């Protein structure tokens, strides 16, 4: 499974993007569960959020893209975003 996160907005306005491939990772089942939860909980259209809040677009394989904004993130969204931005490339 390949998961891509694009973060934009924030007071800096600097975009950040990263992608994580779960193949061969020992924690792949956990990440897959997170990804499925995020796909089911996110919205399919971008929203504007609060001024200077981060906006996220999360794409999982060909299964689609969901959007979410700070500070209204679920724990699952926050965990997945944090993982991909920290360990993805």
**Among residues 24 and 44, whose Cβ is nearest to other proteins?**
44
**Among residues 36 and 78, whose Cβ is nearest to other proteins?**
78
β-sheet with 64-69: strand ranges across: 16-21, 2-9, 54-60, 64-69
Q: Please give the C-alpha separations between residue 57 and each of 26, 29, 45, in angstroms, as whole numbers.
A: 25, 22, 9
Residue 70 in the binding site for other proteins (CB under 8 A): yes
Coil/strand/helix, residue 76 = helix
Size of the site for other proteins (CB under 8 A): 20
Residues 44-63 that bind other proteins (CB under 8 A): 48-55
CB of 1 to other proteins, least distance (A): 25
């Amino acid at each position: 499974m390949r998961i891509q996160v694009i973060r934009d907005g924030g007071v800096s306005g600097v975009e950040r993007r990263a992608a994580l491939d779960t193949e061969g990772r020992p924690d792949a089942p956990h990440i897959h569960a997170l990804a499925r939860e995020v796909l089911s909980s996110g919205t399919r259209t971008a929203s504007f959020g609060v001024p200077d809040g981060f906006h996220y677009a999360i794409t999982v394989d060909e299964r689609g893209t969901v959007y979410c904004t700070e500070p209204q993130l679920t724990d699952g969204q926050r965990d997945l975003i944090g993982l991909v931005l920290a360990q993805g490339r």
